[in-house]
């Protein structure tokens, strides 16, 4: 029995002590990189005024977005002019649909609701576009912005 006790002590003495738990490295907060602008910094600053005016004057019903579309000398203002043009086309389409609804006797009562809903929607999109232009972001408008990029991709800076 003494031999067994000695063997047990020998085995215990040669055993590797359990490893202590290692604390995980401190986590760094995940920071998403800012999207790279498609235009250069100087190009964005130069086109900022036209981009802002495209949205701001559309509040008044003036199609100022046509000027950057015709000039096509600044990619930032051209991008926002295309977004604003798509917004105008969406508004125009809503007026046509409202006219068709008004022509049908059954759906005539829905016209004010449709006009109000689409008007508020276009106003919100216009404000979002204006904020994007002020903050020098080339971000498409929600819902209709991707269509603007697809439909007007042939209009480029000269």
Does the pLDDT value for residue 155 go beyond 80? yes
Select from 78, 83, 89 the least CA-distant residue to 118. 89
Q: What is the pLDDT of residues 85-111, one digit of tens each?
A: 999 998 888 888 887 877 776 666 777
Q: What is the pLDDT of residues 28-49, one digit of tens each?
A: 555 444 444 444 567 788 889 8
Q: What is the pLDDT of residues 45-77, one digit of tens each?
A: 888 988 898 898 887 878 888 888 888 888 898
Does the pLDDT value for residue 7 go beyond 90? no
pLDDT of residue 37: 46
Q: Report the pLDDT averaged over residues 145-151.
A: 89
Structure tokens at 88: 């105008």
Whole-number average pLDDT of the chain: 78
Q: Report the pLDDT averaged over residues 9-19.
A: 54
Domain spans, the chain: 40-150
Does the pLDDT value for residue 135 go beyond 80? yes
Q: What's this model's pTM, rounded to 2 decimal places?
A: 0.67
> Read out DSSP for 40-107?
-HHHHHHHHHHHHHHHHTTTTT--TTHHHHHH---HHHHHHHHHHHHHHHHHHHHHHHHHHHHHSTTT
Share of the chain above pLDDT 70, in %: 71
pLDDT of residue 94: 85
Range scoring the smallest mean pLDDT among 1-15, 33-47, 138-152: 1-15
């Amino acid at each position: 029995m003494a031999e067994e006790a000695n063997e047990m002590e020998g085995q215990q003495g040669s055993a590797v002590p359990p490893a202590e738990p290692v604390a995980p490295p401190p986590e760094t907060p995940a920071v998403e990189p800012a999207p790279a602008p498609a235009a250069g910094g100087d190009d964005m600053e130069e086109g900022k005024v036209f981009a802002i005016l495209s949205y701001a004057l559309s509040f008044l019903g003036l199609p100022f977005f046509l000027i950057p579309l015709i000039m096509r000398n600044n990619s930032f203002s051209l991008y926002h002019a295309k977004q604003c043009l798509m917004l105008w086309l969406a508004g125009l389409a809503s007026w046509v649909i409202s006219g068709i609804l008004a022509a049908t006797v059954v759906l005539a009562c829905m016209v004010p609701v449709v006009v109000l809903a689409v008007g508020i929607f276009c106003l919100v999109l216009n404000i979002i576009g204006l904020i994007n232009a002020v903050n020098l972001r080339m971000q498409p408008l929600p819902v209709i912005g991707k269509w603007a990029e697809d439909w007007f991709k042939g209009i480029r800076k000269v």
